[in-house]
């Protein structure tokens, strides 16, 4: 006989336990929130505000997809007026400069880094994440993102029992760096939402499809073309373990860019240069272009109508024309795919599945392009707009319920991490595409005699020299024991946790003196900037190797000069005037060769110096032996 388990109200066993964790896709153009209820992941819609507002058509999708748009304005009485979602999207046509869309592109980036087109007035210093000027004052990207999260959080709280939400898993592009991830966490913190974990979007998509259920090893490529960003990741799945083998992306590829290309095409058909159209008119045409693009998902041809300066222009669009218009975007996506496959050391034929993610992959053009390129029909049976949020909710549910069959996630760091060494060289500690979490250690020493402090400069990038990479932060290790150069041992540890947070620690091993930094820079690298660093590393590999060889030779020559100078202070008396003059002349030749930055000249000068420095070293050694023998007899060497 089986026993029936009976539980008190609100104390029932899984899958009906009233304890929920949200999965949030904080997207560039659209955002969603999902949750697992009764064992099934489902997107939570806004049944009241979004779809019954009259601003956009009533549909299930409209209830679920929240436009990632925030409007900051004033009402007729001068009171603050803030709209989120479709209400705000409507204001973009009237006041685009105060209607913030695609704020994800601004997250964790400095003002100097923001080079893409936008209608906003940015305020703040170039080296820091900017704010956007609005009638309500300056609003920073973290604050704006928090309002989108707050709206999603409110949806969930309305749909779920009181006090039942314990936190959320929020998805981010796999290419987001430390600053961008931290900015995302800070947005949630502003509204009191606990972030259980940040999850890479491609991994979330794979989880939504349950690709980990297969016991055999398999390789999957996640092609994520959203509204404002493009991401590609190659995953290896084996017995429930998700391992990101390689990742890449570009923030200048997405539905927004496709909309702008179509809008510019429509404007050019009128004979007008798009540069002569003001931001407000351009924003209206961009919205129309998006609508025409969406119509072409279900029909082959659409009639277009746009208005410029009160004059109406008509044209016709079809998928063939659009395919040519957006070719700069689609070609670039394939280039990124090829690079990521090379990084993963895989061929297209080895891929088991191609997963489509992001609203832009609804376009038949994109689906056909992917199928032709990989010779394999891609997976798109789950709504590509919802797949990331659904996967995040499944993972969130596994985390809070500590399921025995929960998956193990092995993500990677997108760019190499290292520190500055003498001569402005980069010493890589953690190479790019290393699985995280990870911890790596390396021992360094001092350059000068009796050096009592050291600056640890942390950088990110693929180039050999510091000036060509990106600085993430620096800190100082003090109270180093006063020793000769090369005798001090300083162990530097780079540790990246599961969320991609980097901590760097430096410890002097004889005293245990330690200092560390948790790298949370005020701005980070965009996907396109990271791609540029990667490409620069490939393009300049030969030049960088030659430069590194030269700099290392110069540093070593400099160390030799310092050592000789130190020895002269104590043992100059051992040299004749002729020997001293020859040694000093050879040292001067090395100094001049270092200034010339010519490896061949330097090598010749160092060889000539070595002749005289070796002679000097021999004299010092003889003197040391003589001093040690003074006052001893043969009897001192006989064992008693």
What positions carry a catalytic annotation? 25, 104, 201, 224
Residue 472 to residue 418: CA distance in whole angstroms: 10
- The DSSP code sequence of 251-269 is TT-SHHHHHHHHHHHHHHT
Residue 260 to residue 285: CA distance in whole angstroms: 9
* Cβ-contact 527, 249 below 8 angstroms: yes
Cβ count within 10 A of residue 314: 11
User: Kindly report the CA angle at 325 between 354 and 256, in degrees rounded to 5?
Assistant: 65
Q: Which two tokens stand for residue 269?
A: 């058909």
Look up tokens 């996967």; give the residue: 391
Cα 495 versus chain centre, distance: 16
* Cβ-contact 222, 357 below 8 angstroms: yes
* Three-class secondary structure of residue 292 per DSSP: helix
Look up tokens 């410029």; give the residue: 308
Whole-angstrom CA distances from 404 to 37, 391, 397, 399, 400 are 18, 18, 12, 10, 12
Residue 261 to residue 289: CA distance in whole angstroms: 9
Nearest Cα residue to 222 out of 174, 284, 268 = 174
Residue 328 to residue 325: CA distance in whole angstroms: 8
Residue 137 to residue 116: CA distance in whole angstroms: 23
Residue 596 to residue 621: CA distance in whole angstroms: 33
Residue 63 to residue 79: CA distance in whole angstroms: 28
Q: What is the largest CA-CA distance in the chain?
A: 114
Residue 613 has phi, psi (to 5 degrees) of -70, -35
* Three-class secondary structure of residue 223 per DSSP: strand
* Cβ-contact 140, 131 below 8 angstroms: yes
* Three-class secondary structure of residue 32 per DSSP: strand
Residue 504 to residue 516: CA distance in whole angstroms: 5
Whole-angstrom CA distances from 12 to 9, 17, 107 are 7, 5, 41
Look up tokens 């373990």; give the residue: 241
Residue 55 has phi, psi (to 5 degrees) of -80, -30
* Nearby residues of 628 by Cβ (< 8 Å), 6 or more positions away: none
* Cβ-contact 495, 438 below 8 angstroms: yes
Cα 592 versus chain centre, distance: 43
* Cβ-contact 403, 361 below 8 angstroms: no
Residue 198 has phi, psi (to 5 degrees) of -90, 140
| Total length of the chain | 640
Residue 301 to residue 373: CA distance in whole angstroms: 25
Q: Which two tokens stand for residue 561?
A: 């000069």
Cα 143 versus chain centre, distance: 20
């Amino acid at each position: 006989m089986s026993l029936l388990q009976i539980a008190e109200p609100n104390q029932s066993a899984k899958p009906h336990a009233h304890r929920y964790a949200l999965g949030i896709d904080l997207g560039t153009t659209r955002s969603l929130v999902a949750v697992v209820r009764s064992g099934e992941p489902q997107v939570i819609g806004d049944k009241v505000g979004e779809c019954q507002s009259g601003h956009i058509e009533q549909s299930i999708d409209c209830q679920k997809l929240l436009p990632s748009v925030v409007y900051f304005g004033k009402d007729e009485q001068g009171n603050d007026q803030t709209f989120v979602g479709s209400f705000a999207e409507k204001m973009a046509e009237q006041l685009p400069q105060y209607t913030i869309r695609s704020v994800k592109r601004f997250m964790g980036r400095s003002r100097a880094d923001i080079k893409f087109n936008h209608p906003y007035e940015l305020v703040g210093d170039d080296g820091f994440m900017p704010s956007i000027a609005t009638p309500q004052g300056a609003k920073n990207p973290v604050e704006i993102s928090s309002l989108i999260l707050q709206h999603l959080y409110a949806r969930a709280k309305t749909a779920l029992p009181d006090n039942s939400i314990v936190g959320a898993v929020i998805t981010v592009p796999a290419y987001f760096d430390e600053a961008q991830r931290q900015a995302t966490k800070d947005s949630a913190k502003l509204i009191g939402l606990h972030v259980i974990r940040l999850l890479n979007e491609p991994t979330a998509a794979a989880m939504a499809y349950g690709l980990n259920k297969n016991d055999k090893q398999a390789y999957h490529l996640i092609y994520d073309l959203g509204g404002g960003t493009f991401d590609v990741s190659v995953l290896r799945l084996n017995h429930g373990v998700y391992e990101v083998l390689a990742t890449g992306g570009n923030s200048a590829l997405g539905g927004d860019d496709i909309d702008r290309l179509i809008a510019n095409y429509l404007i050019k058909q009128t004979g007008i240069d798009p540069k002569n159209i003001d931001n407000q008119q351009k924003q209206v045409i961009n919205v129309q272009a998006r609508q025409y693009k969406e119509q072409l998902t279900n029909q082959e041809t659409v009639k277009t109508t746009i208005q410029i300066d009160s004059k109406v222009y008509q044209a016709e669009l079809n998928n063939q024309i659009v395919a040519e218009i957006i070719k700069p975007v689609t070609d670039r996506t394939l280039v990124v795919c090829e690079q990521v496959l090379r990084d993963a050391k895989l061929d297209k034929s080895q891929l088991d599945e191609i997963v489509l993610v992001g609203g832009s992959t609804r376009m038949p053009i994109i689906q056909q392009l992917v199928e032709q390129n990989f010779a394999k029909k891609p997976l798109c049976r789950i709504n590509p707009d919802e797949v990331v949020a659904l996967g995040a909710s499944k993972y969130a549910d596994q985390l809070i319920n500590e399921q025995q069959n929960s998956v193990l996630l092995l993500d990677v760091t997108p760019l190499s991490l290292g520190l500055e060494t003498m001569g402005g060289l980069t010493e890589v500690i953690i190479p790019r595409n290393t699985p995280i979490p990870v911890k790596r250690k390396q021992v360094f020493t001092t350059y000068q005699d009796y050096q009592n402090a050291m600056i640890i400069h942390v950088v990110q990038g693929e180039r050999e020299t510091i000036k060509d990479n990106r600085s993430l932060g620096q800190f100082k290790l003090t109270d180093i024991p006063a020793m000769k150069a090369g005798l001090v041992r300083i162990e530097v540890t780079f540790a990246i946790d599961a969320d991609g947070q980097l901590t760097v620690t430096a410890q002097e091993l004889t005293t245990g003196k330690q200092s560390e930094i948790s790298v949370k820079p005020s701005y980070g690298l965009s996907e396109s900037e990271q791609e540029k660093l990667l490409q620069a590393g490939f393009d300049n590999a030969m030049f960088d190797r030659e430069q590194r060889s030269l700099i290392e030779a110069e540093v070593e020559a400099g160390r030799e000069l310092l050592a000789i100078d130190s020895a002269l202070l104590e043992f100059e008396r051992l040299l004749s005037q002729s020997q001293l003059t020859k040694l000093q002349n050879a040292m001067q030749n090395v100094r001049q060769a270092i200034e010339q930055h010519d490896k061949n000249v330097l090598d010749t000068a160092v060889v000539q110096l070595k002749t005289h420095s070796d002679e000097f070293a021999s004299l010092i050694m003889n003197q040391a032996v003589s001093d040690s023998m003074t006052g001893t007899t043969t009897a001192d060497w006989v064992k008693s």
